[in-house]
Amino acid sequence: MIDQKIIPNLMPGAEPVFFDEGDTGIIFFHGFTGSPYEGKEFASQFSQRGYTVWVPLLPGHGTRPEDLVNISWSDWYAFGEDCLSKLKKQCSKIILAGQSMGSSLALSLAAHHPVEAVISLAGAVFIKDWRLILLPIARKFIPYHYKSRGPDISLKEAKKNSASYRKYPVKSIDEFLSLLNFAKDNLKKINAPLLLIHSKNDHTVTYKNMDFINNHVSSVIKRKFTVENSYHIVSVDKDRDQVFQIIENFLKELNLLP
């Protein structure tokens, strides 16, 4: 059983999730400014299939945007390593999964630690946004960036219930991009079987990331799937049932059923 610490100022819906069900464990990492809300239904679905599933809360997330100010990309990576180490004491087989930046973290960990498989949902190793050109100036004068449209989810109910920050420190964008660059630089070190799922209607992470990741890893077993009805956070959006079925089929192909 993973020790779940009490987290001060926790947002409703941002609670870490842990289901202790079997010897095959899955760690699901949420995205930048998000929370375990993104993996809650995933955890429920796959725990019912007999997997031990852990959706931890990344440092600086799920509380107050101010808590992100002093968090570095290496803090997220070190946290991921700690999660991996803890679950390995309980499960003999480990699968890493992630949404968006959580996928970047999962890929980075898989490049340096042996795991059974990696599941990347809207995985990111680069961002195409003209506003990044203004970042060196913006970080000096604008402390926070506000997400006027909220999380990139097409399903209204899921968007409404999402436990995510509506603003975040501009300086945190540097750390976010640094983790993406770290993942990108280490793709060739990844040998684990890899599943990539991305929506063509993603407004946050360009769809081109999927092919880039697929073309640069060393994995022998690689699978790509495109969904059509979701936006960025595919784990909670309109295609989530299809996404879960694709993941189950992939794990069945790898003989990683509990």
Write down the pLDDT at residue 139: 63
Q: What percent of the chain has a predicted confidence (pLDDT) above 90?
A: 83
- Give the mean pLDDT of the chain: 93
Report pLDDT for 149: 85
| pLDDT tens digits for range 69-125 | 999 999 999 999 999 999 999 999 999 999 999 999 999 999 999 999 999 999 999
Average confidence (pLDDT) over 233-240 = 98
Q: Which amino acid is located at 80 in the chain? A: G
- Cα–Cα distance, 38 to 147 (Å, whole number): 17
Query: Alpha helices, DSSP H only, in the chain?
Result: 37-48, 73-88, 101-110, 135-141, 156-161, 171-185, 208-216, 240-253
Rg, C-alpha atoms of the chain: 17
Fold held by 17-253 = Rossmann fold (3.40.50)
Give the confidence band of 7 by pLDDT, cuts at 50, 70, 90. Answer: confident
**Residue ranges per structural domain of the chain:** 17-253
Q: Is the pLDDT of residue 146 over 70?
A: yes
Confidence check: pLDDT of 133 > 80? no
Indicate left, alpha or beta for 236 from its phi (over 0: left) and psi (-120 to 50: alpha).
alpha
What six digits make up the tokens of 46? 């796959």
The residue among 207 and 129 whose pLDDT is bigger is 207
> 3-state DSSP call for residue 177?
helix
Tell me what the mean pLDDT of segment 156-165 comes to. Answer: 96
pLDDT score at 132:
47
* pLDDT higher than threshold 90 for residue 258: no
Residue 208 has pLDDT above 50, yes or no: yes
Q: Is 146 exposed, middle or buried (0-12, 13-18, 19+ CB in 10 A)?
A: exposed
Burial class (CB in 10 A: 0-12, 13-18, 19+), 90: middle
Q: What is the spatial distance between Cα 69 and Cα 144, in angstroms, rounded to a whole number?
A: 10
Residue 106 CB burial class (10 angstroms; 0-12, 13-18, ≥19): buried
Q: What does the block give as tokens for 15?
A: 């609670």
Share of the chain above pLDDT 70, in %: 93
8-state DSSP, 10: P
Cβ atoms of 237 and 231 closer than 8 Å:
yes
pLDDT at 128 over 90: no
| Residue 220: other Cβ atoms inside 10 A | 9
User: How high is the pLDDT of residue 140?
Assistant: 64
Residue with tokens 């180490």: 85
How confident is the model at residue 93, as a pLDDT? 98
Tell me: pLDDT of 138 over 60.
Answer: no
pLDDT digits (tens, 9 = 90+) for 15-47: 999 999 999 999 999 999 999 999 999 999 999
pLDDT at 130 over 50: no
